[in-house]
Amino acid sequence: MTKIGIIRHGRTEWNKEGRAQGSSDIPLNEDGLFEARRLAKRLSGENWNVIYSSNLLRAKQTADIIGEKLGQLDVRLDSRIREVGGGLIEGTTEEERLTKWGSAWRDLDLGREKRESVIDRGLSFLEEIVKEHENENVLIVTHGSFIYHLLDEIVPELIREEKPKNTSVTKLLKKDDGWGTEIYNCTLHLEIEG
């Protein structure tokens, strides 16, 4: 049985400002670096074999902090787990989108990546990981919308009352009959003092 820990990267200035990031390569801010260190401390008490990360800087920085804390685990970059491409909305806030395109902006073709494309690359990545890391524990550092789309596809029964938070952990188990979930969107590491 393969265990997969899916992590959303730490916060960035664009997260703080409510800007759509998509494939824009934005670094972590100070809050994001702090969150990543807290998460790394939490994960250091667990057994992980390998870390995969999106090749976007905010995910890679988060993964590097975790890898160092877990005893210099290598971070393997994979573009298939990048954030959903945002097209023309990248860098904009909701208010700016409403002003520029109106309240139905989500229905417009603004060059955003289609759900099918996200699912295709996500499933291709997961199939390869499960095959290559059978009976291992694999960390994946990626992005909020990517996580949301992927989980909606592989564990649709999972009740998601909120979207993945920065540095949240979701743990999945690959069993013979499909995917199961241990935890979803957990950020307990941010609530602990010290």
Taking only the tens place, the pLDDT of each residue in 135-167 is 999 999 999 999 999 999 999 887 677 889 999
93's CB contacts (< 8 A; 6+ apart) are 17, 18, 19, 20
- 9 flagged as catalytic: yes
CATH for the 2-190 domain, from 3.40.50.10440, 3.40.190.10, 3.60.20.10, 3.40.50.1240:
3.40.50.1240
CB atoms within 10 A of CB 116: 9
Per-residue model confidence (pLDDT) at position 194: 57
Catalytic annotation, pick one of 35, 83, 90, 113: 83
Per-residue model confidence (pLDDT) at position 193: 65
Q: pTM, whole model, 2 decimals?
A: 0.94
CA distances from 179 to 4, 7, 80, 117, 136 (A): 10, 17, 20, 21, 15
CB 183 within 8 A of CB 151: no
- 161 flagged as catalytic: no
114's CB contacts (< 8 A; 6+ apart) are none
CB atoms within 10 A of CB 95: 9
**pLDDT below 50 — which residues of the chain?**
none
CB 57 within 8 A of CB 41: no
Catalytic annotation, pick one of 9, 35, 143, 149: 9
Per-residue model confidence (pLDDT) at position 192: 74
CA distances from 116 to 45, 127, 150 (A): 37, 16, 10
